[in-house]
């Protein structure tokens, strides 16, 4: 088969497009099927009244990815360093820098509570006393309970995932709270008392034309090099025979059309992939697919009659005073993201699928948010010129306790299908950033190009092994 191999990619997010770019570069025939009407998946941009909006804030952190993308387009000039992209976190009535600067936090704690916080943090560095399985146990083992309570992490996690830090796996912290993961008490103490102590610098990158530029550039490369991208083309069924995929069924204007294929790369939710398999997977696998959980996201966009509202490009809200978890001010990302003299924002609220709020109209969501914003004195209802919402279902894979058991069952099942691999944020059930999605695509692309015909099972073996090794207890 060799280069005549045909690869079907399900999903035109950045993981699927990165993979397609590697394959066309190797001379392999590729078709990308995307159910929606635009490229980029979660890392997409759209225009409204001439201004660019992203689906929530998208900061590109991984400088090391840029040279890898340079193979396909001039990534160094599309993804550029942006020093305005500092982040804040609203705690106890004040916006702190995020990631935390210990000195800033310690100097704001009430004097009478300070000894308790410092002793709590020092004791937490003694040999482990907490359960490290839960997020709460893991974080308190790093910074102590008083500081854990002070930064209101439990409230933030409840907003994000709908359950508390004692019901969330420590995987989330190890992965998403790197500054806490790398925390050493002596380093914090040094930072708190030593005026010359330096905070580690984080370099942030962005595409001035909107984050969707990355997907657009990759898609251009794919198409120019003979690949095909079909929008409005949801893949409804994946048909297996003798342990391998024979064809997929793609819906086009309501009609299911079979597409013969030699290899399938899926970037859709791992549970959706399982439910689309024909013949059906066995009951335990279907149960595992039904057990993984996701949170929906409502993004409320607002144009406000203010020149600028925040010192940071985004502010997390871990306080109980708001139902939203983050506000982003897009001017910091690019001047093309807000009208002159005005500012544009997005406010994010997570819900469970089927929650009342998810079903609410834009006006009710705006009402809820603006009352909270006014209470905090950020700006006033009468200053809002325009608002609208975008709703993204099942956007966050939830790292509930023992999610690893269910994921293991799904990966074991999929690992038994030779010419199929599931990658990306949803394909590997990973609450992760763009860099990981792109790397997943690039690495899986290399593997498919190398082993796709002669030794196809190697592809998923390597990909799932990496996913298993990244977190606890999935092996």
Ligand X SMILES: Cc1cc2nc3c(=O)[nH]c(=O)nc-3n(C[C@H](O)[C@H](O)[C@H](O)COP(=O)(O)OP(=O)(O)OC[C@H]3O[C@@H](n4cnc5c(N)ncnc54)[C@H](O)[C@@H]3O)c2cc1C
Q: How far is the CB of 193 from ligand X (least distance, A)?
A: 33
Interaction between residue 135 and ligand X (CB under 6 A): no
Q: Which of 8, 15, 141, 169 binds ligand X (CB under 6 A)?
A: 15
Kind of pairing between the strands at 80-81 and 255-260: unpaired
The answer to whether 337 and 331 have CB atoms below 8 angstroms apart is: yes
Interaction between residue 395 and ligand X (CB under 6 A): yes
The Cα 421–Cα 273 span in angstroms is 10
**Contacts of residue 174, Cβ cutoff 8 Å, sequence gap at least 6:** 138, 181, 471
Contact region for ligand X (CB under 6 A) — 19-27, 54-62, 218-226, 408-416?
A: 54-62
Interaction between residue 14 and ligand X (CB under 6 A): yes
How far from 394 is each of 11, 217, 469, CA to CA, in Å?
15, 26, 25
Task: Identify whether 279 is preceded by a cis peptide bond (ω within 30 of 0).
Answer: yes
Tell me the two tokens of residue 190: 């040094």
Interaction between residue 58 and ligand X (CB under 6 A): yes
Residue number with CB closer to ligand X (121 or 270): 270
Tell me the two tokens of residue 170: 């420590």
Residue number with CB closer to ligand X (234 or 339): 234
* Site for ligand X, residues 211 to 250, rule: CB under 6 A: 234-235
Interaction between residue 88 and ligand X (CB under 6 A): no
Contact region for ligand X (CB under 6 A) — 4-12, 129-137, 284-292, 449-457?
A: 4-12
The structure tokens 């095909």 sit at 228
112 CB burial (10 A radius; 0-12, 13-18, 19+): exposed
Helix ranges restricted to H, 26-134: 65-69, 75-78, 102-108, 114-124
Interaction between residue 422 and ligand X (CB under 6 A): no
Interaction between residue 11 and ligand X (CB under 6 A): yes
- Show the 3-state SS of 406-425: HHHHHHHHHHCCCCEEECHH
Contact region for ligand X (CB under 6 A) — 28-36, 130-138, 284-292, 466-474?
A: 28-36
Q: How far is the CB of 134 from ligand X (least distance, A)?
A: 24
Contact region for ligand X (CB under 6 A) — 55-63, 99-107, 173-181, 223-231?
A: 55-63
Q: Per-residue x/- mask for ligand X, residues 251 to 290, rule CB under 6 A?
A: ----------------xx----------------------
Residue number with CB closer to ligand X (143 or 349): 349
Interaction between residue 45 and ligand X (CB under 6 A): no
Interaction between residue 23 and ligand X (CB under 6 A): no
Tell me the two tokens of residue 353: 């699928």
Interaction between residue 204 and ligand X (CB under 6 A): no
2 CB burial (10 A radius; 0-12, 13-18, 19+): exposed
Interacting residue ranges for ligand X, rule: CB under 6 A: 10-16, 33-36, 41-43, 55-61, 234-235, 267-268, 297, 395, 424-426, 432-435, 437
């Amino acid at each position: 088969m060799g280069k005549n191999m045909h690869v079907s990619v399900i999903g035109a997010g950045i993981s699927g497009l990165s993979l397609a770019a590697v394959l066309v570069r190797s001379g392999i025939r590729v078709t990308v099927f995307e159910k929606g009407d635009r490229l980029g998946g979660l890392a997409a941009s759209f225009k409204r009244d001439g201004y660019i909006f992203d689906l929530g804030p998208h900061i590109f952190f991984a400088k090391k990815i840029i040279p890898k993308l340079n193979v396909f387009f001039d990534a160094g000039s599309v993804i550029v360093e942006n020093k305005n992209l500092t982040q804040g976190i609203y705690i106890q009535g004040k916006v702190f820098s995020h990631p935390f600067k210990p000195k800033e936090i310690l100097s704001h704690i009430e004097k009478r509570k300070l000894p308790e916080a410092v002793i709590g943090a020092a004791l937490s560095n003694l040999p482990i006393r907490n359960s490290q399985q839960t997020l709460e146990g893991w974080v308190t083992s790093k910074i102590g309970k008083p500081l854990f309570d002070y930064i209101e992490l439990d409230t933030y996690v409840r907003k994000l995932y709908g359950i508390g830090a004692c019901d969330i796996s420590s995987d989330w912290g190890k992965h998403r709270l790197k500054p806490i993961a790398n925390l050493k008490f002596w380093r914090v103490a040094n930072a708190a008392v030593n005026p010359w102590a330096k905070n580690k610098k984080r370099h942030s990158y962005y595409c001035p034309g909107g984050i969707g530029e990355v997907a657009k550039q990759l898609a251009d490369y794919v198409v120019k090099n003979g690949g095909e991208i079909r929008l409005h083309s949801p893949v409804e069924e994946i048909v297996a025979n003798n342990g391998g995929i024979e064809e997929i069924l793609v819906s086009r204007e309501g009609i299911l059309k079979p597409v013969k294929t030699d290899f399938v790369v899926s970037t859709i939710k791992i549970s959706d992939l399982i439910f689309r398999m024909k013949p059906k997977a066995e009951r335990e696998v279907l149960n595992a697919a039904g057990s993984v959980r996701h949170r929906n996201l409502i993004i409320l966009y607002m144009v406000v009659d203010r020149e600028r509202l925040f010192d940071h490009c985004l502010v997390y809200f871990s306080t109980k005073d708001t139902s939203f978890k983050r506000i982003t001010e897009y001017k910091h990302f690019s001047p093309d993201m807000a009208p002159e003299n005005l500012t544009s924002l997005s406010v994010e609220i997570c819900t469970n699928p089927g929650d009342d709020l998810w079903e609410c109209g834009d006006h009710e969501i705006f009402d809820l948010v603006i009352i909270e914003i006014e209470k905090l004195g950020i700006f006033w209802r009468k200053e809002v010129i325009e608002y609208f919402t975008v709703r993204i279902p099942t956007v966050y894979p939830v790292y509930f306790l023992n999610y690893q058991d269910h994921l293991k069952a799904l990966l074991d099942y999929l690992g038994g299908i030779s010419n199929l691999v599931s990658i990306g944020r949803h394909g590997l059930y990973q609450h992760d950033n763009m860099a990981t999605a792109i790397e997943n695509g690039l690495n899986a692309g290399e593997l498919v190009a190398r082993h796709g015909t002669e030794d196809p099972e190697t592809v998923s073996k390597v990909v799932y092994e990496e996913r298993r090794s990244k977190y606890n207890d999935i092996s």
